[in-house]
């Protein structure tokens, strides 16, 4: 049996049971109604291209069967893990966030006892969607020791902070708070952090919570909620705003409800977003490398490709894949494009559902997006 090692983190409490008999229908853009903008025809962005750096499946018949691979537990005993990141420093370590305020290290096949970072004294995790939520290491971490976290602090408000580390220990007193964002409600905090191929730090923030975006933050480009933010952490105190940000502030893209995990394809530079829906549709959004800022993903005008506060409009960038709650699942967890030693998986974007534990692979094939179920993981999925 071939082996596919993908770490699926799970919290202690699940929000629902598995729905093994139901398989969500993933609808490629090319087969939707004319009001939906096809993935290969947008006015504001170049057409996405199939990655050419590695071979990848071209159709359903060549798509790998996840059941032919071994999925194994590599670490246990964690308390509500919500993110996993490498330092990319050659050490092979994985850093795992426990939302209470700890970062743990998985090294040489073992989960180390001593935390890499303990900021439980300042993390507010009183709500289910609050806590220490995101982590990313500076591209030059091996030289400067800088890493960045996203957490909810006093009042439940978002903080994006920089810390410094040496070896297997980070100094909790080294915190430099880069950005504070008021959160009107305790849910939809987002939390993802990622460095783009341009060297800028990107952050995914939810719309501020409650239900239905009552403050209409998603479509307000002067508000930082419901957005992908983009800042330069290498210039300014504590950062600067890139000159080509579209609205003169930190906002890079907007119209998001609760982006739960964003990631750049490390080969192509494409940006992938898993955006959690309201109560009907879960979606995967996509920006090809080189896209200008200012993309509008539609919330709360749209939920997925369906009207919520309005109807589809030509300037909305609708999802490349979606699935309905009626077809199984409840909350999408965005993942990564696989780039590794098994060529049959290269170029496939993995994502899953928090409640059902199902994992799908998504590829662009002959100008159309295709999504294929890969495995029933049997766990609640919070990150990849």
Output the pLDDT for position 51: 37
Residue 262's contacts (CB-CB under 8 Å, 6 or more residues apart) are 192, 194, 202, 204, 228, 271, 272, 273, 274, 334
How far is 189 from 174, CA to CA, in rounded Å? 24
User: 2 φ, ψ to 5°?
Assistant: -70, 160
What is the torsional sign of CA 6, 11, 13, 15?
A: negative
Would you state the structure tokens that stand for residue 250, as one six-digit string? 């930190």
Question: Could you give the C-alpha distances from 318 to 27, 242, 285, 351, in angstroms and in order?
Answer: 12, 26, 7, 17
Q: What is the pLDDT along the chain (384 residues), one digit of tens a residue?
A: 454 444 454 432 222 222 232 333 343 333 332 222 223 323 333 333 333 344 566 565 678 888 888 888 999 999 999 999 999 999 999 999 999 999 999 999 999 999 999 999 999 999 999 999 999 999 999 999 999 999 999 999 999 999 999 999 999 999 999 999 999 999 999 999 999 999 999 999 999 999 999 999 999 999 999 999 999 999 999 999 999 999 999 999 999 999 999 999 999 999 999 999 999 999 999 999 999 999 999 999 999 999 999 888 888 999 999 999 988 789 999 999 999 999 999 999 999 999 999 999 999 888 889 899 888 888 899 999
Q: Going edge to edge, which strands form the sheet with 132-137?
A: 132-137, 146-152, 158-166, 169-181
Sign of CA dihedral 144, 249, 47, 273: positive
Inter-residue contact 359 to 23 (CB < 8 Å): no
Distance set, CA 53 to CA 63, 218, 227, 318, 351 (Å): 18, 35, 30, 26, 21
What was the pLDDT predicted at 376? 87
Q: Are 37 and 317 in contact (CB under 8 A)?
A: yes
Identify the DSSP state of 207. Answer: -
- Tell me, yes or no, if the pTM score tops 0.75: yes
Distances in Å between the Cα of 336 and the Cα atoms of 151, 262, 272, 384 are 22, 8, 8, 7
Measured in whole angstroms, how far is the alpha carbon of residue 247 from the centre of its chain? Answer: 23
No. of helices (H) and no. of strands (E), the chain: 1, 25
What does the pLDDT read at residue 61?
65
Which pLDDT belongs to residue 377?
86
Q: How many CB atoms lie within 10 A of CB 169?
A: 13
Question: So what's the pLDDT on residue 312?
Answer: 82
The whole-number pLDDT of residue 305 equals: 94
End-to-end CA distance of the chain: 22
């Amino acid at each position: 049996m071939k082996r596919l090692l993908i770490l699926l983190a799970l919290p202690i409490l699940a929000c629902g049971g598995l729905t093994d008999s139901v398989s969500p229908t993933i609808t490629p853009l090319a087969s939707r109604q004319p009001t939906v903008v096809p993935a290969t025809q947008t006015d504001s962005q170049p057409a996405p291209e199939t990655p050419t750096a590695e071979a990848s499946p071209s159709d359903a018949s060549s798509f790998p069967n996840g059941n032919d691979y071994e999925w194994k537990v590599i670490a246990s005993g964690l308390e509500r893990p919500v993110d996993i990141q490498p330092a990319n420093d050659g050490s092979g370590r994985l850093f795992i966030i426990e939302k209470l305020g700890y970062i743990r290290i998985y090294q040489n096949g073992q989960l180390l006892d001593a935390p890499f970072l303990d900021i439980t004294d300042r993390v507010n995790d009183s709500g289910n969607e609050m806590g220490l939520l995101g982590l990313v290491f500076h591209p030059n971490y091996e030289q400067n020791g800088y890493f960045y976290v996203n957490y909810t602090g006093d009042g439940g408000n978002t903080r994006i902070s920089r810390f410094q580390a040496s070896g297997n220990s980070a100094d909790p007193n080294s915190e430099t708070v880069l950005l504070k964002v008021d959160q009107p409600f305790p849910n939809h905090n987002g939390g993802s952090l990622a460095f783009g191929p341009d060297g800028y730090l990107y952050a995914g923030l939810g719309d501020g919570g409650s239900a239905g975006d009552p403050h209409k933050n998603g479509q307000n480009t002067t508000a930082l909620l419901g957005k992908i933010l983009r800042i330069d952490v290498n210039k300014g105190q504590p950062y600067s705003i890139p000159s080509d940000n579209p609205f003169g502030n930190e906002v890079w893209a907007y119209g998001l409800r609760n982006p739960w995990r964003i990631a750049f394809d490390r080969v192509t530079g494409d940006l992938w977003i898993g955006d959690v829906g309201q109560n009907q549709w879960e979606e995967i959004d996509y920006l090809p490398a080189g896209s200008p800022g200012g993309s509008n993903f539609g919330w709360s005008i749209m939920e997925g490709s369906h009207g919520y506060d309005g109807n589809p409009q030509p300037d909305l960038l609708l999802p490349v894949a979606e699935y309905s709650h009626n077809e199984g699942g409840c909350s999408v967890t965005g993942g990564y494009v696989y780039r590794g030693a098994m060529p049959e998986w290269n170029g496939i974007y993995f994502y899953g559902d928090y409640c059902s534990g199902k994992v799908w692979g998504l590829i662009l094939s002959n100008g159309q997006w295709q999504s294929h179920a890969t495995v029933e993981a049997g766990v609640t999925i919070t990150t990849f």
